Each structure stands twice: as structure tokens, then as C-alpha cells.
């Protein structure tokens, strides 16, 4: 994407009512406006809240929101030029249960209160295979602890990835600190796969499937 297109999308994001772009410093100073009051002040309802972390273009967030109009869906990613597409689609289709936050996933506890979130989705994240990038894996124990604080008791985390490395890494971590509710290394070749795991497919997931690449999925609590 060219720099002109990025700047255009950044400017357009600023006009979208479903996009929140706080400064990192303001978040760390406790100035995020919706922490603890998302349902009352932003969505104006009492429906469940589901997050997608590292949401990319936001297409998974939007598709989940279409499937569950009585659920509030929030995509989080630091790259606003990417989720511009999801935010714009949600506006064009008059979806009032979709929101995007431009921030780092590591700041999640500053954006949501304890027990405020019902479920979390992590879809096709960078597996961060190099050892020096371990802390950047979205299922690193420190991040899982942050997810636990904002999730309701027994709130589910869903991980869907084409990376067998990340799948195995997460399986090992969660086996020690949480509870695996379901896990399979090839969900499109398994009759017991939960319907929610295959109902929504992103552009990249379809590409992986065309290449006969196995898609893994697990859901767990922490």
C-alpha cells in the first residue's frame, strides 16, 4: 500500500464513528474513555462483548458481527490503515455492533475493565517464531494473564492459525495454566470441528485452503 493511500485511510478513520484511535500515553495515564462502560456509553446496550486481537483488515470481526447481531464485536490492531476496510464496511452496512481500536494488544487491560469481555478471538497472527520475539506472540503467558483479567470467569479464547508452531506452543502453555476446551490440528479434515471455527473464512484462510494447508483451531480458558 502506498503512503498516499495510508494517509488517506488514516484521515478517513478519524471521521468514522466506529474507530477509536487513542494515544498510547493517554491510555497508560488511565484516560481511555470507555474502560468499564463499553456497553453503557459506546454500544448503548447490554449485549456480550467479543474481541478480535490483531484483527488486520477487520474482515473476521465484521463477519462475526454479521453472524451475531446481538453481540458487540471489537477489533484491535495497531495498523489502522488495515482495519479501515472493516470499519468502512461496517458503516456502509449500518452495523452498530462493530468497533475498532487502534492500539497495541499489550494495552488491553487499560482499555477494558475486569470481567468486561465475554470472548476473545485470535485469528492467523504472526507466529513470531524467532526466540527473541517470544514475548510478541499473542499467546505468550504475560498476554494470556492480561486476557484473563478482562475476560469474564470461564470466558473463552479462540485461536485459529495456519502455524503448527504457534498451535503447539499455545497448546503447551495453556495445558499448564488453563484448560483446553477443544483443539485440532486440521479442522477442515475433522467431523467434530465446532461450527463456529469454520463458519467464517478470511481471504488469507481461503488462500491457505487452496494450497491444501492445514488450519488449526483451539478454544480454551485461562
Closest CA to 159 of 210, 119, 107: 119
Determine the Cα–Cα distance for residues 18 and 144; give it in Å rounded to an integer.
Answer: 26
8-state DSSP, 186:
-
C-alpha cell at 194: 465446532
DSSP code string of 70-112:
TSEEEEEES-HHHHHHHHHHHHHTT-TTEEEEES-GGGHHHHS
| Helix axes 141-150 and 164-177, enclosed angle (nearest 10) | 60
Question: Residue 124 pairs with which residues in a beta bridge?
Answer: none
C-alpha cell at 114: 475486569
Among candidate residues 115, 118, 126, 192, the one labeled active-site is 126
C-alpha cell at 65: 458481527
Q: Is 118 among the residues known to form the active site?
A: no
Determine the Cα–Cα distance for residues 205 and 40; give it in Å rounded to an integer.
Answer: 35
Exposed e or buried b for every residue in 87-114, given b needs 16+ CB within 10 A? bbbbbeeebebbbbbbbebebbbbbbee
Catalytic residue set: 126
Amino acid at each position: 500500500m502506498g503512503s498516499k493511500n495510508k494517509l488517506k485511510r488514516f484521515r478517513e478513520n478519524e471521521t468514522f464513528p466506529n474507530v477509536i484511535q487513542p494515544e498510547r500515553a493517554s491510555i497508560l495515564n488511565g484516560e481511555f474513555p470507555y474502560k468499564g462502560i463499553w456497553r453503557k456509553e459506546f454500544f448503548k446496550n447490554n449485549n456480550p462483548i467479543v474481541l478480535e486481537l490483531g484483527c488486520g483488515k477487520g474482515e473476521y470481526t465484521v463477519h462475526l458481527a454479521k453472524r451475531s447481531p446481538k453481540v458487540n464485536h471489537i477489533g484491535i490492531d495497531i495498523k489502522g490503515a488495515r482495519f479501515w476496510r472493516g470499519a468502512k464496511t461496517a458503516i456502509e452496512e449500518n452495523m452498530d455492533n462493530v468497533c475498532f481500536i487502534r492500539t497495541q494488544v499489550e494495552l488491553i487491560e487499560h482499555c477494558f475493565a475486569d470481567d468486561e469481555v465475554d470472548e476473545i478471538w485470535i485469528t492467523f497472527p504472526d507466529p513470531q517464531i524467532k526466540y527473541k520475539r517470544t514475548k510478541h506472540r499473542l499467546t505468550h503467558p504475560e498476554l494470556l494473564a492480561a486476557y484473563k483479567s478482562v475476560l469474564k470467569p470461564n470466558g473463552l479464547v479462540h485461536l485459529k492459525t495456519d502455524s503448527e508452531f504457534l498451535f503447539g506452543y499455545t497448546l503447551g502453555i495453556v495445558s499448564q495454566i488453563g484448560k483446553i476446551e477443544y483443539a485440532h490440528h486440521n479442522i477442515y479434515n475433522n467431523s467434530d470441528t465446532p461450527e463456529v471455527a469454520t463458519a467464517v473464512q478470511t481471504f488469507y484462510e481461503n488462500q491457505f485452503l487452496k494450497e491444501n494447508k492445514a488450519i488449526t483451531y483451539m478454544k480454551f480458558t485461562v
